[in-house]
Chains A and B, each alone.
Chain A
Amino acid sequence: MNQKRLELIKSKLADFEIELSDINGTPAIITNPANIIIICSILKTDLDISFEMLLDVMGVDNFQKEKRFEVVCSLYSLKYKDRIFIKVPLDSKNPEMPSLTAVWKGANWFERETFDMFGIKFTGHPDLRRIYMPEEYEHFPLRKDFPLLGIPDSIYLPKK
C-alpha cells in the first residue's frame, strides 16, 4: 500500500482513537472495541478506501500481557488490490467485542471459530455456538493455559 493511500485512511479515521503499525509491509490499525463497528463500516463503505472483503477473523492469546486477548481481522480491497489488518486488544477476564456480522455477513463463522478456540464473546452475533468442538464442551483449546492433549474425560467418549 502506498503512503498516499495510507494518509487518506488516516484522515478519514481522524475522529477515532487509532494507532497505526506495520506487519511485514501490511498496515495494521490498532483500536479499541468501542469504535470497531463504525471504523469497519467506514473502511468498507467509503468509496475512496473500499475494503469490501473480510478475509479472516483470528484470535491471539498473548498470555503474559495485561490485555491478554487480541482479535485480528484481515481486510482486502477488491478495488485497490491491497490489504489491511485491524487489531483489537481485549480484556483478560472478560474478552468481549461487538460482532462484525453487522458489517460483513461472512464474519459469522470466523467469529464462531474464534469464540470456540479462545472464548472471545462477540456481542450481537446472530448464532454464537461452537463450530469445531462438541457443543457441551467447557474449555477453550487454543488458549495458552490449555494442555496439548486436552483435559482428560472432558469430552464424551462411548464406552467400550
Chain B
Amino acid sequence: MGLEDKLSKDGFFTSKIDALIQWSRSNSVWPMPMGISCCAIEMMAAASARFDISRFGSEVFRFSPRQSDVMIVAGTVTYKMSKVVRKIYDQMPDPKWVIAMGACTSSGGMYRTYSVVQGIDQFLPVDLYVAGCPPRPENLLNSLIILQERIKKGEKTASENI
C-alpha cells in the first residue's frame, strides 16, 4: 500500500487532520443499541459471529449513551417510549448519528394506531432508514457501510442539519 511505502521509506506522511479524524472516526462507530422490539433480534445477529459487525469497527455495543456514536433504534417506538429514546439520544456526545432500523421505527409500520409514533423522525434527526420488517443483518451492515462512507466524506450529520 502507498501508506506503508511512505512510512517505511520516509518515516512520515502528510495529510489533512480532518481526513485523519474522519478516517479514524468512520472505523470506530460504536453503536448504542436501542433495541425496543423484534428488530433487536436481528441487530444481535448482526453483532454476533455469523454476520460480525466488528469487521467494520462497531463491535463494541455500548450500553451507555455517553460512550457511543450511533444510536440504532430497533423497534416500535410508542409515545410513552419516545421520551426515553429522546433522553438517551440527548446524552450522546457529538458527533452523533441515528439509524432507524425497520418499518416500525421509520414509519410506524404495521402499527397504524394511536399509541405508536408514526416514524421516529417526528422527534429525532434520522441519518439512515433501514428497510425491512425486520431487516436482514446484511441490510443493517449495509447501512453502517453507507454511514462510514458519509463520515469519510465529512458530510454533516442529521442533527447538524437541523
Tell me whether B12 is interfacial, beta carbon within 8 Å: no
A148 near B113 with CB under 8 A, answer yes
Known: A149-B112, A150-B115. A160 touches B123 (CB 8 A): yes
Tell me whether B114 is interfacial, beta carbon within 8 Å: yes
Question: How many residues on A have C-beta within 8 angstroms of the other chain's C-beta atoms?
Answer: 16
Instruction: List residues of chain A with CB within 8 A of the CB of B118.
Output: 149
Contact size range, B:
10 to 19
Instruction: List residues of chain A with CB within 8 A of the CB of B156.
Output: none
**A134 CA / B79 CA spacing, docked (Å):** 9
Tell me whether B80 is interfacial, beta carbon within 8 Å: yes
**A143 CA / B83 CA spacing, docked (Å):** 26
Q: Give the contacts of B142-162 with A (CB-CB under 8 A).
A: 162
B114 near A158 with CB under 8 A, answer no
B122 near A160 with CB under 8 A, answer yes
Instruction: List residues of chain A with CB within 8 A of the CB of B162.
Output: 160
B82 near A148 with CB under 8 A, answer no
B113 near A132 with CB under 8 A, answer no
B114 near A156 with CB under 8 A, answer no
B122 near A157 with CB under 8 A, answer yes
Tell me whether A133 is interfacial, beta carbon within 8 Å: yes
B115 near A133 with CB under 8 A, answer yes
The listed residue (A132, A148, A158) touching B112 by CB distance below 8 A is A148
A61 to chain B, nearest CB (A): 15
The listed residue (B79, B112, B125) touching A156 by CB distance below 8 A is B79
B12 to chain A, nearest CB (A): 45
Tell me whether B92 is interfacial, beta carbon within 8 Å: no
Instruction: List residues of chain B with CB within 8 A of the CB of A133.
Output: 80, 115
Tell me whether B128 is interfacial, beta carbon within 8 Å: no
A19 to chain B, nearest CB (A): 35
Q: Give the contacts of B115-147 with A (CB-CB under 8 A).
A: 115, 117-118, 121-125
**A19 CA / B114 CA spacing, docked (Å):** 37
Tell me whether B86 is interfacial, beta carbon within 8 Å: yes
A160 near B125 with CB under 8 A, answer yes
B79 to chain A, nearest CB (A): 4
Known contacts A147-B114, A157-B79, A159-B123; 11 additional CB pairs below 8 A are A146-B114, A148-B113, A149-B113, A149-B118, A150-B115, A155-B79, A156-B79, A157-B122, A158-B86, A158-B123, A160-B123
